[in-house]
Amino acid sequence: MREAFHDQLDSIFDDLAGICRQVETAVRDASTALLTGDAEIAERVITSDATIDTAREKVEDDCFMLLSLQAPVAGDLRVVVSALRMVSELERMGDLSVHVAKIARLRVPEVAVPDEVRPTMSQMAEVAQDMVSRVAQIITSKDVEAAIALGRDDEVMDRLRRQSFRELLADEWAHGVEAAVDLALLGRYYERIADHAVSVANRIVFVVTGQQPVDA
């Protein structure tokens, strides 16, 4: 029975990694829509979010089934509860990608990101996508060192967020309040995607070691 239980746990973590890969696609496509003004890609991100929601519901149902039928204790209980928390974080990352896509769609046929802040916003998008991609690998491999390294690398996103604020608050800003609000929101969305990625990675550390990372 315990072997079947652990097979079910492994299946749940496979599903978590699959959701994370879906989120990676959403982040990439939302960023493409944002930087190109492509309404079709933006719409695809928005529509595809229902698939992530459905996958989240399956993971939750599977976790609750294990809790009710297997009554796990100690380390096994820690794993199931962590999976429930991770799937919530992953869904939120998908939601944030939708927010990015909606800003892109709102400004069509224009591009929401002015040329002079495009390098910073492009870097934020790249960092967010990279972090989500690495989280998918961390979920699959349960690599504690990689999970801890991801938390340290979040500092790059924080630095880019501060840079974006400096740019939109500069005296030279000539794009009005609407564009400034867009960029403030976009910076926040990408920063939160990174924060959720770190949170998922930290939960993997907890699953494997039973301890929270020192900087968590």
What pLDDT, on a 0 to 100 scale, did the predictor assign at position 210? 87
Cβ atoms 8, 66 nearer than 8 A: yes
pLDDT value of position 181: 95
Question: Do residues 88 and 135 make contact, with C-beta atoms less than 8 angstroms apart?
Answer: no
Q: What is the pLDDT of residues 60-117, one digit of tens each?
A: 999 999 888 877 777 788 899 999 999 999 999 999 999 999 999 999 999 999 999 9
The residue count for the chain? 216
Q: What local confidence, expressed as pLDDT, does residue 71 receive?
A: 72
* pLDDT computed for residue 214 by the predictor: 64
Quote the pLDDT of residue 141. 95
Name residues of the chain where pLDDT drops below 70. 1-2, 214-216
The confidence score (pLDDT) of residue 1 equals 53
Contact 23, 87 (CB under 8 A): no
- What is the domain partition of the chain in residue ranges? 2-209
Q: For 73-142, give the DSSP string.
A: -HHHHHHHHHHHHHHHHHHHHHHHHHHHHHHHHHHTTS-SS-GGGHHHHHHHHHHHHHHHHHHHHHHHH-
The CATH class that applies to domain 2-209 reads mainly alpha
